[in-house]
Each structure stands twice: as C-alpha cells, then as structure tokens.
Structure 1
C-alpha cells in the first residue's frame, strides 16, 4: 500500500509497453478495450518487469546513487537524504522479479552507504519504511528463498549490518520525556526539532524495528517502538478517541497526549491502522492486543465512516472526521484500506470484512475509471453541499469531485486490487490492475523514466512534474507484477490461514515470526 505520506511470457515489451498509443486511453469497461487486445501479445507480468527494468536503467544511468530520477531533465533528486532511496526501495521488487543483475548492483552499493552523514533533515518514519524496511526485506529474501540471486554472501550479511547501523543512528529520536519519538532529526548533531509527531509516523515503526530486534538479537529496538506504540493503544485524553479505536493524528512527544481529534484512513493516520493488523500477522502471540485494537477501529469505520455519494449510492467511500463530525473527503493514499479489510477478513476469518473491503475496492475503481486518464486523483470529495460549480456535471455522473488532481505514482488502488484477487480468485481484479497499469504507463512515461503528473482529469495528465518516486519501484511495480503471476511463491498472500510473509507499508515483504 499502502504507505502513509504526509499531505505512489513471452516477448519482451520494451518497444510496445513503453510507448502505448493514445488509443489505449479508452474506457476500460468497454467491450472493445484495446488493453484486452494488447494482453494477448505477451505476458502481463513480463510487461511489468520490462517497465521496472526501463525505470531502473534510467535511474541507474542518470541518477544513481542519488535518491530519485528526474526523468524529464535526466537529472537527480535527493529528497531522502542522498542515500540512494530508489536503489534500496527497488531491491525487494528486483528480487521478486528475479532480476539478478539489478539485485547485485544494489547489494554491492548498500554496504558503502554512510547512514551517519547527510546534509538534510531525516524523517524517522520515511527512513524506517524505505531504508530499514528495504534492507530487512532484502536480507530475509536473500538469506531465505532467493539466496541464489546474490553473487556475494558478504553483501547479504551487510544488509543486516547496515540495518543495525541505521537504527543505531536513528535511536536518539526516542529520547523524549515520554518515549514517543521525534520524527524530524538532525543526525549530525543528534537532535530533533522537538515538534509534535503524528499517528502514522509513530505507529508505522513497530514492524521494522521489531523485525530488526528479532534478527539481531537486540531487544532494545523492539522495546523502543513498543513503548511508543503503547500511547497509541491507550490514547489520552479520552476525547482523542471520538469513535472506538479511531483516534486523532497529532501527538506530543513531551507527554504522549493527543493534540487533535482529526483522523481517518488518510495520509498521516493510515498506516497506524495498517500495522495493528500486520503486527498480529507477524507474531500472533506477542501482538494479540494490537489485533483487538484493529478490530475496534475496523468496526467503527464500518459503523460511523461508511458513506455513499448521493448521485451514486452504489459506491462506498470511507469518510474522514473532525471529532464526531463526518467529512466526506478521501485520498488516493486511503485506497489501501480496501486491501487492508480484505486481508483482515482472511486473517481473522471474517467474511464481513472481506465483503466490506470488496465494496471499497469497487469505490476506488470508480475513482480511476471516471477520469480522463483513468487514474485516480490525489484527493477527492463527495459532499453534495460543496461541489465546485465547474464540476457539477462530473459529480452528478461519477459521485465525486476532485480536490487535488495530481497523481504522484501512488500504488494504493493497485495494492487493493492485489489483495482482492488473492482473496477471491476473481480475474476481474487482474484486469482492473492491468487497466490501471496501462493507463499509468501511457500517461506518466516520459524521458528516461516515469514522472508524477499534474492533472489526472485532462488528456495526457497535464504537466509532467519531473519526479520519479522511489516507491514507484517498491510498490506500484511490485503489486502490478504480483497480481499477474501464478501466486505459488511463499511471499504471496494466501486465501486465509497463516501467511509466511507480511508486507510493510512500503510493500517490502518480511518473514513473519513463528511465536
């Protein structure tokens, strides 16, 4: 998914997939959809792998070892401290695709990263989900089922060693009066800006730091994040929990109290709820209380936040809230929630959660297929009393209007398609994912890679904003690939029972514990 970001057989398809004609930008529900004609030419999974390789080649040529490629100008960007975010984020996807050359390009680079030095502010949250999660996932895969892809065993061991170095450099963030960490860090001086932290940025650390603790044998890493998590499980003051299990978003590291009552399955809150369930998957015996907290939040979501647009009562959206006031707004980021409910239904044996998740999948699918590019916008609303006059006809037809029209190479809708397909076996979800992949490819392909776009509701997406997100590698291409493969690999989610791997919010799979 869904990651939280504060307010992404045959014949080689390099020539066809990388320049899909404008005729592909048609209604994916029509009988004579060109996508359906195209798919017969070659294997879909291979098509995604080819796009991954093209994206990597552009990054490796023009930007490596910087963080991101600027594909329009063939430049580089360092939004994640200049440690090579795209390389680390790409590792687990390259492994799953079996791209041995790329795997070894990445793992021979990681040992030379100096995680103690950077010229910019460090986000504890972003660094954890991208770098720490990416290296731990690489270690789990390369010391397990994909060991044959590494040329040098020492490079594999370095993934764990570097994870320890990184966590040690970040650990001063937890030196607050409460144990709630600070998020914005100055590594050189080992200090923070001491500002309030967020629900997602506190609650989306526990999986990676506990996994590091288990792999390294150092219990300190787990203790740090478990103490921080305890404040989120028993929020104070009571008013910070307007609905059972659903809480505010701003938290004071000074005393652990919540400072607002705004929330929902939106950026800044979303992956806290994601990790409640995923920590239970990781270790049911150790983290049963987090499962109970997830059930509270899930049930409250169904009861209080479920919403149907007036023009389209067949569509289900999840609203956000301010106190007990319902706000009929959501985001592309939030669309991971569909997959989360489906996963919960499998793990907790709850057909109700699965059905609710499938309804949310359909809602997010509608948001995609109704725009000019067939890609969903960054933010949308469905409040009948606040429709912009220029979007009145669009709202009456679609059930939503667009608040923020950009697309930042986000994965959440395809992520939910993936969980829907693995739970149901219904091939329409594969088709929906393929439609989205083709639309994204046709619209965002530019220069040496793929770029965020300015407006999903104009032909061609408007301006290319010259930025290829690192999670394009980690999430969009991984979920687009996994949904089209046979599904027998051990890291795939199953149809219930005990999965052997769990995906962090950046889509890096880590091996679950067995206790």
Structure 2
C-alpha cells in the first residue's frame, strides 16, 4: 500500500509508469515503459489485488484504470495490416516492438472488463480479442508455428521477429494464458483450437528435438 501512495504522488511521463524506480532516490530511472518484461506484473497484480479484495480495493482498481488509459493512449497502435499491438516507450519514442511477455495483456484486458469505467466492458473485451489475434499471428507466421520472444511492426514486417536473438521459443505461457481467458469470457471455440495447436507443436518439438 505504501508503494502505491508513493507512486501516486510522482509525476509520470504521459501518465505511464516507467519500469525502473531508483530505490535510493525514489525517482524514476530510465524512461522505459513496457507492458511486457519488467512491467507486466505491476499491471496484472493491480487488477488481481482488486479482485482478491472482493472488489473493495478501489485504490488498486483506480491505479489500474488510470494506467490502462495511458497505455491505450501512448502504447497501443494498429499496424498497416490491421493488427493491434502494444509497443514500448523508450526515451520519448514508441518502439513498434511487442514481446511475447506482453501477450498476457489480452487476457488482462478481458479480465478487467468487468468493473471498467464508463461502460467500457465491451471495448476492453474487444481489445483483449485483438491482442489475442495479434499474438496468434506471431505464432502462425513462423516456420515452426511457435511464437518468437519478440516481434516487430516496422518496414512492412508485421508480427515477425527480425533479430536472431528474438527468434527463440522457451515455452512462455502468456499467449496460452490469453487464449484461456478469452475462451472463458467468450466461449469462442477458436481459442481452444489455437491453444491445442500450440500444445501439439510444443509436444512435437520436445519429442523429436535434440
């Protein structure tokens, strides 16, 4: 609770929460904001703290809602090909790259639709579906049909890894997590199918890999 009150008093660039906070000075470090690595759990646990309190922790919910509003305004974009993605904010500029870790956000948006302000439940459920679709595309556009660690939306390339050190797959759960949430909230069978495809491909790689 104390850290929340501290964060509430701090100026935030564009309303965003940078990933780094200096423990000695109590000030922001590098102005790098990500919904993926280093930042993901902050948003996820704000929402889950509200849910675990039987929706009485209004401070957690308001902090979550304010953060998501800033994320929508500054980090979420739609590619030329119509894919919704969540970029990273670095030193005042948006990097059009999305990490596999960020794919958990599709499920988070769906989970947070209930209780969202101004009757935006449908909007956030749709946003969750769009993120799920983008993350599925990141899998489907690889040779092995298993998603890369990070993928870009630049220079005509969409939802594909560019650097060699971003093409690996290490059984991260975030995409499957979003499929699960979307299935529970919509019962659209495609999410079960997408999850089963990934499970089969992962098993084949383990069974026949080196």
Q: Is the shorter-chain TM-score for this pair beyond 0.5, marking a shared fold?
A: yes
* Structure 1 residue 289 corresponds to structure 2 residue 56: no
Q: In the alignment, is residue 429 of structure 1 matched against residue 204 of structure 2?
A: no
Confirm or deny that 1:263 pairs with 2:33: yes
Give the counterpart of 2:14 among 243, 251, 273: 243
The answer as to whether partners of 1:242 and 1:323 remain within 8 angstroms in 2 is no
The alpha carbon displacement at 1:445 in A equals: 3.5
What is the CA distance between 1:286 and its match in structure 2?
Answer: 4.9
- Select 2:44's aligned residue among 257, 268, 274: 274
What's the CA shift for 1:347?
Answer: 4.4
1-structure distance, mates of 2:73, 2:55: 28
2:201 to 439, 450, 470: 439
The residue number in structure 1 matching 2:99 is 331
Structure 2: where are the runs of 5+ without partners?
none
d(CA) in 1 for partners of 2:56 and 2:9?
17
Q: Distance in 1 between matches of 2:4 and 2:69?
A: 21
Is contact 1:377–1:402 with CA below 8 Å preserved after alignment?
A: no
CA distance in 2, matches of 1:374, 1:401: 13
Q: Report the Cα offset of residue 373 of structure 1.
A: 1.0
Whether the 8 Å CA contact 1:309–1:399 is kept in 2: the answer is no
Q: 1:343 aligns with which of 71, 92, 111?
A: 111
- Equivalent residue, structure 2, for 1:228: 3
Distance 1:364 1:342 in 2: 15
- SS of 2:108's partner is helix
- Cα drift, residue 439 of structure 1: 1.1
Alpha-carbon distance, 1:360 to partner: 0.6
Q: Does the CA contact (< 8 Å) of 1:267 and 1:333 recur in 2?
A: yes
Per-residue deviation at 1:285? 5.7
Measure, in 2, the Cα distance between the counterparts of 1:432 and 1:347: 28
Report SS of the residue matched to 1:382. strand
Aligned counterparts of 2:205 and 2:66: Cα–Cα separation in 1: 40
Structure 2 equivalent of residue 408 of structure 1: 170
Q: 1:298 to 1:419 in 2, by over 3 A?
A: same
Aligned pairs (5 A) from 1:82-231: 226-231=1-6
Equivalent residue, structure 2, for 1:318 = 86
User: Match for residue 304 of structure 1?
Assistant: 74
Distance (whole Å) between structure 2 residues aligned to residue 319 and residue 402 of structure 1: 15
1:321 is paired with a residue whose SS is strand
Report the CA distance shift for 1:399/1:433 in structure 2 as closer, same or farther (over 3 A).
closer
* Equivalent residue number for residue 15 of structure 1: none
1 CA distance for matches of 2:60 and 2:78?
29
Shift of residue 230 of structure 1?
3.1
8 Å CA contact 1:262, 1:321 repeated in 2: yes
Cα distance in 2, alignment partners of residues 292 and 420 from structure 1: 23
| Offset of residue 291 of structure 1 | 0.6
The structure 1 segments of at least 4 consecutive aligned residues displaced by more than 6 Å after TM superposition are none
The two structures, once aligned, show a CA RMSD in angstroms of 1.9
CA distance in 2, matches of 1:243, 1:298: 12
Counterparts in 2 of 1:404-483, with a 5 A limit? 404-445=166-207
Distance 1:254 1:372, change over 3 A: same
2: CA distance between counterparts of 1:340 and 1:441? 27
